[in-house]
Amino acid sequence: MNHRAVALFLLTLTTAGALCAQPQPLPLTPPRAPADTVFLREGAIEKLVLTPRVALPAVKLPAPLAAEHSISFWFRVEDSPALWTTGYGDEHPVTILDVNATERDSQRLVFRIMEGRFEVTAYGDGKWKALRGLATKVKPGQWYFAVYTRSAQGGILYVNGDIALRSPAAAPAHDRLQIVAFGNFDRRRRMNGTLLEPRLYGLALTKDQVRDLFQSRPQAAR
Protein backbone atom coordinates (compact mmCIF):
# COMPACT_ATOMS: atom_id res chain seq x y z
CA MET A 1 0.00 0.00 0.00
CA ASN A 2 1.56 3.37 -1.05
CA HIS A 3 1.69 6.48 1.12
CA ARG A 4 -1.27 8.10 -0.63
CA ALA A 5 -3.46 5.04 -0.03
CA VAL A 6 -2.43 4.93 3.62
CA ALA A 7 -3.28 8.61 4.04
CA LEU A 8 -6.70 8.14 2.46
CA PHE A 9 -7.38 5.12 4.68
CA LEU A 10 -6.48 7.05 7.83
CA LEU A 11 -8.59 10.01 6.70
CA THR A 12 -11.57 7.70 6.19
CA LEU A 13 -11.22 6.29 9.70
CA THR A 14 -10.91 9.76 11.20
CA THR A 15 -13.95 11.05 9.32
CA ALA A 16 -16.06 8.05 10.30
CA GLY A 17 -15.12 8.53 13.93
CA ALA A 18 -15.99 12.22 13.80
CA LEU A 19 -19.39 11.55 12.26
CA CYS A 20 -20.37 9.33 15.19
CA ALA A 21 -18.59 11.38 17.86
CA GLN A 22 -20.76 12.09 20.86
CA PRO A 23 -21.24 15.75 21.83
CA GLN A 24 -20.78 16.87 25.40
CA PRO A 25 -23.99 17.14 27.44
CA LEU A 26 -25.07 20.47 28.89
CA PRO A 27 -24.67 21.24 32.61
CA LEU A 28 -27.52 19.77 34.67
CA THR A 29 -27.68 20.55 38.38
CA PRO A 30 -28.86 17.57 40.47
CA PRO A 31 -32.06 18.13 42.45
CA ARG A 32 -31.83 18.52 46.21
CA ALA A 33 -32.83 15.21 47.70
CA PRO A 34 -31.79 12.60 50.30
CA ALA A 35 -28.53 10.76 49.68
CA ASP A 36 -30.39 7.52 48.91
CA THR A 37 -32.28 9.25 46.08
CA VAL A 38 -29.65 11.09 44.02
CA PHE A 39 -26.37 9.43 43.01
CA LEU A 40 -23.63 11.37 41.22
CA ARG A 41 -20.53 10.42 39.25
CA GLU A 42 -17.92 13.08 38.51
CA GLY A 43 -20.51 15.75 39.27
CA ALA A 44 -23.10 14.41 36.80
CA ILE A 45 -26.33 12.63 37.70
CA GLU A 46 -25.76 8.89 37.50
CA LYS A 47 -28.97 7.62 39.09
CA LEU A 48 -32.24 8.90 40.57
CA VAL A 49 -34.30 6.52 42.70
CA LEU A 50 -37.86 7.82 42.63
CA THR A 51 -40.87 6.89 44.77
CA PRO A 52 -44.41 8.29 45.01
CA ARG A 53 -43.65 9.36 48.59
CA VAL A 54 -41.29 12.15 47.52
CA ALA A 55 -41.55 14.68 44.68
CA LEU A 56 -38.09 15.93 43.79
CA PRO A 57 -37.84 19.72 43.38
CA ALA A 58 -37.39 20.97 39.83
CA VAL A 59 -34.02 22.32 38.72
CA LYS A 60 -33.35 25.35 36.56
CA LEU A 61 -30.89 25.16 33.69
CA PRO A 62 -28.29 27.96 33.36
CA ALA A 63 -30.00 28.95 30.10
CA PRO A 64 -33.01 27.75 28.08
CA LEU A 65 -32.51 24.86 25.70
CA ALA A 66 -31.87 25.98 22.14
CA ALA A 67 -34.53 25.48 19.48
CA GLU A 68 -32.55 22.39 18.44
CA HIS A 69 -31.82 20.10 21.38
CA SER A 70 -31.89 16.53 22.65
CA ILE A 71 -32.85 14.84 25.91
CA SER A 72 -31.77 11.31 26.83
CA PHE A 73 -32.24 9.00 29.80
CA TRP A 74 -32.61 5.37 30.85
CA PHE A 75 -35.67 4.47 32.88
CA ARG A 76 -37.30 1.55 34.64
CA VAL A 77 -40.66 1.64 36.42
CA GLU A 78 -42.10 -0.55 39.15
CA ASP A 79 -45.59 -1.96 38.75
CA SER A 80 -48.44 0.15 40.11
CA PRO A 81 -52.13 0.73 39.28
CA ALA A 82 -51.26 4.25 38.07
CA LEU A 83 -49.35 2.80 35.10
CA TRP A 84 -52.48 1.27 33.61
CA THR A 85 -55.11 3.85 34.58
CA THR A 86 -57.03 5.79 31.94
CA GLY A 87 -57.45 9.55 32.15
CA TYR A 88 -55.86 12.25 34.28
CA GLY A 89 -55.65 12.48 38.06
CA ASP A 90 -53.29 13.14 40.94
CA GLU A 91 -51.48 9.81 40.45
CA HIS A 92 -51.71 9.28 36.69
CA PRO A 93 -50.47 9.40 34.00
CA VAL A 94 -47.10 8.56 35.53
CA THR A 95 -44.54 11.28 34.77
CA ILE A 96 -40.96 10.40 33.91
CA LEU A 97 -39.68 13.85 32.97
CA ASP A 98 -41.34 17.27 32.78
CA VAL A 99 -39.52 20.13 31.04
CA ASN A 100 -41.11 23.56 31.36
CA ALA A 101 -40.41 27.19 30.48
CA THR A 102 -39.76 29.87 33.08
CA GLU A 103 -42.90 31.60 31.79
CA ARG A 104 -45.00 28.86 33.29
CA ASP A 105 -46.86 26.71 30.76
CA SER A 106 -45.90 28.86 27.77
CA GLN A 107 -43.89 25.88 26.50
CA ARG A 108 -43.74 22.41 28.00
CA LEU A 109 -42.55 18.90 27.15
CA VAL A 110 -43.75 15.90 29.16
CA PHE A 111 -42.50 12.30 29.04
CA ARG A 112 -45.05 9.99 30.67
CA ILE A 113 -46.73 6.60 30.76
CA MET A 114 -50.39 6.64 29.82
CA GLU A 115 -52.33 3.38 30.03
CA GLY A 116 -49.09 1.40 29.98
CA ARG A 117 -47.61 3.17 26.95
CA PHE A 118 -44.65 5.54 26.87
CA GLU A 119 -45.58 8.81 25.21
CA VAL A 120 -44.42 12.40 24.80
CA THR A 121 -46.67 15.46 24.67
CA ALA A 122 -45.57 18.97 23.75
CA TYR A 123 -47.28 22.23 24.70
CA GLY A 124 -47.00 25.56 22.90
CA ASP A 125 -49.17 28.17 21.24
CA GLY A 126 -51.91 27.33 23.74
CA LYS A 127 -52.26 23.70 22.65
CA TRP A 128 -51.07 20.23 23.73
CA LYS A 129 -49.91 17.99 20.89
CA ALA A 130 -48.83 14.38 21.33
CA LEU A 131 -46.07 12.84 19.27
CA ARG A 132 -47.50 10.21 16.92
CA GLY A 133 -46.44 6.74 15.98
CA LEU A 134 -46.18 3.35 17.63
CA ALA A 135 -45.97 4.05 21.37
CA THR A 136 -43.85 1.58 23.34
CA LYS A 137 -45.75 -0.64 25.75
CA VAL A 138 -43.80 -0.49 28.99
CA LYS A 139 -43.11 -3.61 31.07
CA PRO A 140 -42.42 -3.00 34.77
CA GLY A 141 -38.89 -3.95 35.82
CA GLN A 142 -37.45 -3.62 32.29
CA TRP A 143 -34.95 -0.96 31.24
CA TYR A 144 -35.68 1.43 28.36
CA PHE A 145 -33.45 4.04 26.74
CA ALA A 146 -35.24 7.16 25.55
CA VAL A 147 -33.85 9.95 23.39
CA TYR A 148 -35.91 12.92 22.27
CA THR A 149 -34.40 15.07 19.51
CA ARG A 150 -35.82 18.39 18.41
CA SER A 151 -34.86 20.09 15.15
CA ALA A 152 -36.51 22.48 12.70
CA GLN A 153 -38.42 19.48 11.31
CA GLY A 154 -39.98 18.71 14.69
CA GLY A 155 -39.43 16.22 17.48
CA ILE A 156 -38.51 12.53 17.31
CA LEU A 157 -38.63 10.05 20.17
CA TYR A 158 -36.25 7.10 19.97
CA VAL A 159 -36.74 4.11 22.27
CA ASN A 160 -33.87 1.63 22.54
CA GLY A 161 -32.21 3.16 19.50
CA ASP A 162 -35.20 3.06 17.14
CA ILE A 163 -37.70 5.76 16.17
CA ALA A 164 -40.99 5.32 18.00
CA LEU A 165 -42.82 8.66 17.76
CA ARG A 166 -42.68 11.89 15.73
CA SER A 167 -44.14 15.37 16.10
CA PRO A 168 -47.26 16.20 14.12
CA ALA A 169 -46.76 18.55 11.19
CA ALA A 170 -47.50 21.72 13.19
CA ALA A 171 -45.27 21.12 16.21
CA PRO A 172 -45.15 24.01 18.71
CA ALA A 173 -41.91 25.97 18.99
CA HIS A 174 -39.70 24.98 21.92
CA ASP A 175 -36.91 27.49 22.51
CA ARG A 176 -37.52 28.54 26.13
CA LEU A 177 -37.49 25.21 27.99
CA GLN A 178 -35.44 25.71 31.15
CA ILE A 179 -37.09 24.00 34.16
CA VAL A 180 -36.61 20.22 34.58
CA ALA A 181 -38.62 18.06 37.00
CA PHE A 182 -37.73 14.40 37.47
CA GLY A 183 -40.54 11.93 38.04
CA ASN A 184 -43.37 14.35 38.76
CA PHE A 185 -45.75 16.81 37.09
CA ASP A 186 -46.34 19.81 39.37
CA ARG A 187 -45.44 17.47 42.27
CA ARG A 188 -48.23 15.07 41.23
CA ARG A 189 -48.34 11.97 39.02
CA ARG A 190 -45.16 10.67 40.62
CA MET A 191 -42.96 7.98 39.18
CA ASN A 192 -42.07 4.83 41.08
CA GLY A 193 -38.83 3.63 39.52
CA THR A 194 -35.30 4.61 38.51
CA LEU A 195 -33.75 7.09 36.08
CA LEU A 196 -30.19 6.64 34.87
CA GLU A 197 -27.92 9.24 33.27
CA PRO A 198 -30.42 11.97 32.31
CA ARG A 199 -28.61 14.19 29.80
CA LEU A 200 -29.41 17.33 27.80
CA TYR A 201 -27.70 18.37 24.56
CA GLY A 202 -27.64 21.64 22.68
CA LEU A 203 -28.30 20.04 19.30
CA ALA A 204 -30.44 17.38 17.65
CA LEU A 205 -28.56 14.08 17.87
CA THR A 206 -28.35 11.99 14.71
CA LYS A 207 -29.68 8.45 14.45
CA ASP A 208 -26.11 7.11 14.56
CA GLN A 209 -25.36 9.11 17.70
CA VAL A 210 -28.54 7.83 19.34
CA ARG A 211 -27.65 4.23 18.53
CA ASP A 212 -24.11 4.71 19.82
CA LEU A 213 -25.52 5.97 23.12
CA PHE A 214 -27.85 2.98 23.30
CA GLN A 215 -24.97 0.58 22.68
CA SER A 216 -22.98 2.16 25.53
CA ARG A 217 -25.51 0.89 28.06
CA PRO A 218 -24.54 1.72 31.66
CA GLN A 219 -23.67 -1.17 33.94
CA ALA A 220 -26.68 -0.48 36.16
CA ALA A 221 -29.04 -1.11 33.22
CA ARG A 222 -27.58 -4.51 32.28
Instruction: Encode pLDDT of 60-71 as tens digits.
Output: 999 999 999 999
Mean pLDDT of 173-185: 97
Flag whether pLDDT at 14 surpasses 50.
no
Residue 31 identity: P
**Model pTM?**
0.90
Strands (E) in 38-168, as ranges, are 38-41, 44-50, 59-60, 69-77, 94-101, 107-114, 117-124, 127-130, 132-133, 136-137, 144-151, 154-159, 162-166
Per-residue pLDDT band for 168 (boundaries 50, 70, 90) equals: confident
Mean pLDDT of 85-114: 96
Q: What is the pLDDT of residue 10?
A: 44
**Cβ–Cβ < 8 Å for 150, 172:** no
Instruction: Encode pLDDT of 183-208 as tens digits.
Output: 999 999 999 999 999 999 999 999 99
Mean pLDDT of 30-53: 95
Per-residue pLDDT band for 7 (boundaries 50, 70, 90) equals: very low
